[in-house]
């Protein structure tokens, strides 16, 4: 099979987005007949159809979807190359696109780690974007992100590798005067009869809580669902319900808002945060530098003490 040329790939990507070879040709500035011939030639090279044509437009086959996924990654690498060359020409070392969940950004020392990295590597520009875990994984596969920081233990898609970064503990968050606030720990069952406050941005956490409730043949009763954790904390402080949040997003606000975070005693309430990327050999140099830094290979990152260290020191 011959490798598709860039023009044909652009046409296929536009067809996937627009649902029409005619509209894809117009976007790419090529005649419809020429675009159709390119797609036919691609199908001949593949030995199978990549586009199904119908009265309502064009739809990709499984082979077409595979080509589009790899095509997006290829164009992402080209865009990455252009960015890195521009950064190099300007005296820098490149750009790293880091996409991370809210829990990783707000509940752990990621901002501080990035500040240390910026001081140590002023020639590297880090572009940080906040997303939920599933979106981050897709952006890594599509080449729209270099590194991802996600929450959860699920299997990674083929082509991605993960490294443990941090752990966090989930707390039931309530006003100080709540009847459950005096407990040192809570079973999840204790929350199932309580009004709950949910935050949309905590996508992986919401799915985890729903899954645990379903395993008990129960459901969570949400009084309010809001976009972010700031609004969620305010609603809890006003007495509207209980929220479940990572410890790092609760402890700094307890005194100011009159909140109390009680640890959940379930094993799944301790979550693993992972740094995810393509294999190191496929990463640009700037992304490898940041990976080493975040995983403990640079100043500013916490490291476990040596095995023979005196714990009392």
Query: pLDDT, tens digit, for every residue of 231-245?
Result: 999 999 999 999 999
The yes-or-no verdict on residue 181 having pLDDT over 90 is yes
When pLDDT is averaged across residues 55-77 and rounded to a whole number, the result is 82
Start-end of CATH 1.10.10.10 domains in the chain: 6-71
pLDDT given at position 143: 83
Q: Which of 22-26, 43-47, 303-307 reaches the highest mean pLDDT?
A: 22-26
Taking only the tens place, the pLDDT of each residue in 252-280 is: 999 999 999 999 999 999 988 999 999 98
The matching CATH number, chosen from 3.30.930.10, 3.20.20.70, 3.40.50.720, 1.10.10.10, for 6-71 is 1.10.10.10
pLDDT given at position 201: 58
Start-end of CATH 3.40.190.10 domains in the chain: 76-93+103-166+271-297, 168-270
> CATH assignment of 76-93+103-166+271-297?
3.40.190.10
Q: How far apart are CA 101 and CA 148, in angstroms?
A: 8
Confidence of residue 44 (pLDDT cuts 50, 70, 90): confident
The yes-or-no verdict on residue 52 having pLDDT over 60 is yes
Domain 168-270 superfamily per CATH: Periplasmic binding protein-like II (3.40.190.10)
pLDDT given at position 303: 35
pLDDT given at position 145: 92
pLDDT given at position 313: 35
Taking only the tens place, the pLDDT of each residue in 125-174 is: 899 999 988 899 989 988 889 999 998 778 899 889 999 999 889 999 99
């Amino acid at each position: 099979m011959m490798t598709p040329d860039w023009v044909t790939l652009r046409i296929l990507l536009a067809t996937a987005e627009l649902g029409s070879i005619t509209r894809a040709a117009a976007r790419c500035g090529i005649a419809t007949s020429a675009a159709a011939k390119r797609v036919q030639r691609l199908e001949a090279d593949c030995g199978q159809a990549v586009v199904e044509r119908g009265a309502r437009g064009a739809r990709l086959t499984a082979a077409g979807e595979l080509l589009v996924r790899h095509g997006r990654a290829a164009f992402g690498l080209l865009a990455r190359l252009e960015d890195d060359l521009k950064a190099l020409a300007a005296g820098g070392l490149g750009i790293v696109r880091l996409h991370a969940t809210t829990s990783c950004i707000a509940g752990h020392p990621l901002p501080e780690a990035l500040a240390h990295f910026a001081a140590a590597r002023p020639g590297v520009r880090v572009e940080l974007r906040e997303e939920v875990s599933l979106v981050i994984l897709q952006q890594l596969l599509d080449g729209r992100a270099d590194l991802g920081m996600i929450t959860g233990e699920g299997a990674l898609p083929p082509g991605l590798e993960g490294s443990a970064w941090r752990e966090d503990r989930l707390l039931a968050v309530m006003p100080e005067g709540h009847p459950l606030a005096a407990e040192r720990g809570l079973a999840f069952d204790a929350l199932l009869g309580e009004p709950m406050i949910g935050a949309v941005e905590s996508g992986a956490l919401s799915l985890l809580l729903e899954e645990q409730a379903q395993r008990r043949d129960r459901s969570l009763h949400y009084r309010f669902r809001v976009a972010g954790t700031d609004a969620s904390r305010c609603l809890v402080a006003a007495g509207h319900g209980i929220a479940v949040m990572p410890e790092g997003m609760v402890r700094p606000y307890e005194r100011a808002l009159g909140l109390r975070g009680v640890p959940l005693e379930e094993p799944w309430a301790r979550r693993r945060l992972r740094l995810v990327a393509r294999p190191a050999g496929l990463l640009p140099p700037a992304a490898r530098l940041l990976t080493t830094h975040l995983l403990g290979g640079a100043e500013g990152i916490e490291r476990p003490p040596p095995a023979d260290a005196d714990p009392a020191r």
